[in-house]
């Protein structure tokens, strides 16, 4: 880390600098802070609470207490709240895009694009909230009627990655809220600001106190935060995007309390070039596939197979394109 700097937004309160538990934006229980740095420079430009196991338990307490009332809210009303959240996200696209770019490092244009991508998930699940229909099933014996109803599972714990800090939290939280579940969230330690801003906008949209809670934590403290949720039987589902080893750990630890799991784990994508390919088009395709989002997506290729006949021509053109890439602060053109 080098010098300390700031980030100026049109709405500076979108950087609350606190974690939301119940109705309260609060510090960590021991008041320890976690620095947020610009990956282009290493400069510290913000800080957030470094949450503890006590904070994680408090978040579950709040979510569990809020669940009966939230599940009873009519689906149409939940949909309206989530739609307002979508509208607020798009209304603050520029500020959110700047937050993403500064803490994650992607170009500002990609940051703005991710905000729209995140909002598309929120809008989708706002509309799906009213479509959680059950089923009427033909009975196998006379005089019986069979039907299935869909019910919210309860408290959902979401653990999100740093590569798409807005899109991933939206994709996990929006369906949980739409279904009538309450949420405890732990964003990636590298990119907590975007998540906090989105949670603040959800609060402004009308999500009731306790329905959505967020705990920020460092790499050092993340295991103790997540372990609280894994051990607590009130947490009925875990949703995680990240590495395969961590996903395996979550699956093993969730077995004791029979939690439901949604795991999106690491990929190992190939890029294959055959000798009859358009080499220029193949190079451009690889540049997009490999270097989009700084090369940090779950489908970025990390293996390139090229047939021998076109190998040298492909490598020469690819090397020239890679050499022309510009590395620097995300806000620069």
List the chain pLDDT tens, one digit each, 333 residues.
Answer: 334 457 889 999 999 999 999 999 999 999 999 999 999 889 999 999 999 999 999 999 999 999 999 999 999 999 999 999 999 999 999 999 999 999 999 999 999 999 999 999 999 999 999 998 889 999 999 999 999 999 999 999 999 999 999 999 999 999 999 999 999 999 999 999 999 999 999 999 999 999 999 999 999 999 999 999 999 999 999 999 999 999 999 999 999 999 999 999 987 889 999 999 999 999 999 999 999 888 888 888 989 999 999 999 999 999 999 999 988 887 776
Q: Residue 5: what pLDDT?
A: 55
Closest CA to 240 of 251, 231, 232: 251
Domain ranges of the chain: 13-131+150-265, 270-323
Please say if 264 is a catalytic residue. yes
Active-site pick, 27, 128, 264, 284: 264
Answer whether 0.85 is exceeded by the pTM.
yes
Tokens of 63: 């979510």
Active-site pick, 10, 298, 300, 332: 298
Q: Determine how many CB atoms are found less than 10 A away from the CB of residue 25.
A: 17
Q: Residue 299: what pLDDT?
A: 84
Q: Residue 3: what pLDDT?
A: 43
Give the C-alpha separation, 164 to 171, whole Å. Answer: 10
Closest CA to 220 of 54, 51, 55: 51
Whole-number Cα distances in Å, 134 to 148, 171, 175, 237: 5, 23, 17, 21
Q: What distance, in Å, lies between the first and last C-alpha atoms of the chain?
A: 24
Q: Residue 1: what pLDDT?
A: 38
Please say if 103 is a catalytic residue. no
Q: Residue 7: what pLDDT?
A: 82
Class of the CATH domain delimited by 13-131+150-265? alpha beta
Q: Residue 48: what pLDDT?
A: 97
Give the C-alpha separation, 71 to 308, whole Å. Answer: 60
Q: Residue 2: what pLDDT?
A: 39
Give the C-alpha separation, 307 to 318, whole Å. Answer: 15
């Amino acid at each position: 880390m080098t010098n300390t700097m700031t980030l100026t937004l049109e709405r500076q309160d979108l950087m609350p600098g606190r974690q939301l538990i119940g109705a309260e934006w609060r510090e960590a229980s021991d008041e320890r802070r976690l620095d947020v740095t610009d990956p282009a420079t290493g400069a510290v430009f913000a800080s957030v609470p470094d949450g503890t196991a006590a904070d994680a338990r408090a978040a579950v307490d709040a979510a569990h207490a809020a669940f009966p009332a939230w599940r009873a809210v009519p689906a149409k009303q939940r949909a309206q709240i989530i739609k307002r959240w979508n509208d607020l996200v798009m209304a603050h696209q520029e500020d959110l895009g700047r937050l993403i770019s500064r803490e994650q490092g992607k170009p500002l244009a990609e940051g703005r694009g991710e905000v729209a991508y995140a909002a598309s998930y929120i809008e989708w699940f706002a509309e799906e909230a009213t479509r959680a229909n059950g089923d009427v099933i033909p009975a196998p014996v006379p005089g019986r009627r069979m039907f299935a109803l869909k019910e919210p599972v309860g408290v959902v714990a979401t653990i999100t990655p740093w590569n798409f800090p807005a899109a991933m939290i939206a994709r996990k939280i929006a369906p949980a809220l739409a279904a009538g579940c309450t949420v405890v969230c732990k964003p990636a330690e590298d990119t907590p600001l975007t998540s906090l801003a989105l949670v603040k906008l959800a609060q402004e949209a009308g999500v009731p106190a306790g329905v959505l809670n967020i705990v920020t934590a460092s790499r050092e403290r993340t295991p103790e935060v997540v372990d609280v949720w894994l051990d607590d039987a009130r947490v009925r589902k875990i949703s995680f995007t990240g590495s395969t080893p961590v996903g395996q750990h979550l699956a093993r630890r969730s077995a004791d309390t029979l939690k439901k799991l949604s795991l999106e784990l690491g990929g190992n994508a190939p890029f294959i070039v055959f000798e009859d390919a358009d080499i220029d088009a193949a190079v451009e395709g690889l540049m997009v596939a490999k270097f989009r989002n700084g090369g940090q997506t779950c489908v970025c290729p990390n293996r390139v197979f090229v047939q021998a006949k076109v190998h040298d021509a492909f490598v020469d053109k690819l090397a020239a394109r890679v050499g022309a890439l510009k590395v620097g602060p995300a806000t620069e053109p």
